[in-house]
Structure 1
Amino acid sequence: MSVKSIDVTEIAMSVLGPLQFSMNGIDVTPTAPKQMQVLSLMALNEGQMVTSSSFVDELWAERPPKSAKTTLQTYILHLRKLMSKAFKDESTPVRDILLTRQGGYLLRLPMAPFDLRQFNELSTEGRIALSQGDPQRGSHLLRKALEVWRGPALVDVPIGSVLEPKVRGIQTQRQIALENRIEADLRVGRHEEAILDLVTLTAQQPLNENIHEQYMRALNLAGRRSEALGIFHRLRKNLMDELGLEPSLKLQQAQHVILSSASSAA
């Protein structure tokens, strides 16, 4: 029997927030920390084999026990047993979902609801729409992409040396999607909505020039020019104090535009 014989709507994986894995409507998310790491690493590499050495590095870093590979096999066995509990039919092909390969293991979720896949597809479509001059559609798609998130990626999972760069990369993609959505909102005149997000973002990221430039534009569009100039001076101070750098040319040009618009208004 092939995994294709299982209705894909019966399998759902979520990693953008707490780890969640369900099959046949039954929660089969492991609770043991290392089993959560094993499942998470396979989920972030869905459809591709994860080598046994990668699992060992993730689980035990530079001090693996002599029994590391045997213990890993036990974790895989426990995951399969957990998955099997979701099905009355003992012949359900769990091994066709969590596969053993020469040198490693692979999780296969063909077309099943998977929040990371949904986010990637929606955010990519949104960026394309924005780049093609359709900010209205771009804003809609990017907003839907961000709604998929339920919190920081794998927030309840211990993160080792292999998962860490992958999780950091996913969080970076979320930040990019958010900045793109704000850009789309600015282009369609939703500057007040953008300001609400940018107040928090600039406080959280006091050296991020892109979101500060967006904040300056949003405030300027809202007629709050003095506040926009204040944001520039605050960022300049932060950059000088922390890095000894002046704001980028893009920020200086944004300041010039605001100063020019203020002069014109006067």
Structure 2
Amino acid sequence: MQIKLLGPFIAQKGHHPLLPSAAKPRQVLALLAIRAGGVVTVPTLMEEIWGDRPPRSAPTTLQTYILKLRRLLERALAQGVDALHSSVDHHTGRTAPQGAKGVLVTRYGGYQLDVDPCTVDTQVFERLQSRGQKAFNDGDFATAATLLGQALALWRGPALVDVKTGPVLDMDVLRLEEARLAALESRITADLCLGRHGQVLSELAVLVAQHPLHEGLHAQFMTAQYASGRGWQAFETYRRLHTALRTELGIEPGARIQELYASMLAGGAPPAVTPPDHPGPRAVLWSAV
């Protein structure tokens, strides 16, 4: 089975789709998939579907959705033995195929989607991001850039872009989007530390347009511009950020990016740039200039 949540929702075994056409069962499957391997409680599922006002029929209706999902799984599993959904027979040491109830498992108080973590793109992303961030923190920028690039390549658009989401999934999607942005910042900083200033210019131009108030991305863009011999463009980037922050939020840019701008104006090598909330090896950013 393959489950992809980082973009349009895809769940399939081979070429056999597992997504229900109805919106609410899709919602249930999405929540179970985004938390695959863990138990999702019945109250959490009900909150996702109906918010804080579930109807009296909610428990029965939820059971109906689970039944529909299991029927889809059963049809898919009937296409052949899926080694990714198998359990170990502790008497023989061999694997034995599971039915739908062994994949979408009833647990005390809730349900669990029991699948191999390697088949869920969110879990692959988080594993690659963790390894990439560790390499970054250790100062191994080449490995960090590679691993974080692989993690980011799993994204095909906004997470669960084609699924109607409720309050629970909204929080999970927000968490994933924030993790994506953090991975992107770290990967770009690793590239800058490797002297790849020109290679990230066009990417950063798009990112600062998408995030006009994000100081970390603007600092990276200014760094890449200045190191590429485009000092005047770096000044313009700062001025646009300054105007946006004052207009939208009524605040001045932070001390870190102000120091960066002042150093560029002075015509010397700017001080180390460390994007907000990310201490450590980012301090060597300007060593690549």
**Is the structural similarity TM-score above 0.5?**
yes
Render the CA deviation track for 1:29-88: whole Å, top value 9, x for unaligned.
222110111011111211111111111111111332211100000000000000111133
TM-score (norm 1): 0.91
* 1:58 matched residue in structure 2: 48
Q: Residue type of the partner of 1:236?
A: H
TM-score (norm 2): 0.84
* 1:20 matched residue in structure 2: 10
Q: Is 1:216 matched with 2:222? A: yes
* 1:37 matched residue in structure 2: 27
- Conserved? CA contact 2:117–2:124, under 8 Å: no
* 1:184 matched residue in structure 2: 190
* 1:6 matched residue in structure 2: none
Paired residue secondary structure (1:162): helix
- Number of aligned positions between the proteins: 254
* 2:274 matched residue in structure 1: none
- Conserved? CA contact 2:263–2:269, under 8 Å: no
- Conserved? CA contact 1:17–1:149, under 8 Å: yes
Q: Is 1:133 matched with 2:139? A: yes
- Conserved? CA contact 1:153–1:170, under 8 Å: yes
Cα separation, 1, equivalents of 2:237 and 2:159: 30
* 1:235 matched residue in structure 2: 241
Cα separation, 2, equivalents of 1:58 and 1:92: 28
Q: Residue type of the partner of 1:26?
A: H
The 1:263–1:217 alpha-carbon spacing in structure 2 relative to 1, beyond 3 Å, is closer
Q: CA deviation at 1:254?
A: 0.8
Q: CA deviation at 1:133?
A: 1.1
- Conserved? CA contact 2:33–2:113, under 8 Å: yes
The 1:238–1:24 alpha-carbon spacing in structure 2 relative to 1, beyond 3 Å, is closer
Cα separation, 2, equivalents of 1:258 and 1:137: 30
Cα separation, 1, equivalents of 2:53 and 2:269: 65
- Conserved? CA contact 1:225–1:262, under 8 Å: no
Cα separation, 1, equivalents of 2:112 and 2:54: 21
The 1:263–1:214 alpha-carbon spacing in structure 2 relative to 1, beyond 3 Å, is closer
Q: CA deviation at 1:144?
A: 0.7
* 1:246 matched residue in structure 2: 252
Q: CA deviation at 1:262?
A: 5.7
> Structure 1 stretches (4+) deviating beyond 6 angstroms?
none
Q: CA deviation at 1:112?
A: 4.0
Cα separation, 2, equivalents of 1:174 and 1:124: 12
Paired residue secondary structure (1:86): helix
Trace 1:104-123 onto structure 2 (pairs within 5 A): 104-123=110-129
Trace 1:82-101 onto structure 2 (pairs within 5 A): 82-88=72-78, 92-101=98-107
Q: Residue type of the partner of 1:21?
A: A
Aligned identity (percent) is 39
Structure 2 residue runs of 5 or longer lacking an equivalent are: 82-96, 271-289
- Conserved? CA contact 2:133–2:186, under 8 Å: yes
* 2:109 matched residue in structure 1: 103
Q: CA deviation at 1:23?
A: 2.3
* 2:283 matched residue in structure 1: none
Aligned counterpart for 2:262 among listed residues 256, 260, 266: 256
* 2:201 matched residue in structure 1: 195
Paired residue secondary structure (1:106): strand
Cα separation, 1, equivalents of 2:232 and 2:154: 36
- Conserved? CA contact 1:84–1:92, under 8 Å: no
Q: CA deviation at 1:150?
A: 1.1
- Conserved? CA contact 1:24–1:87, under 8 Å: no
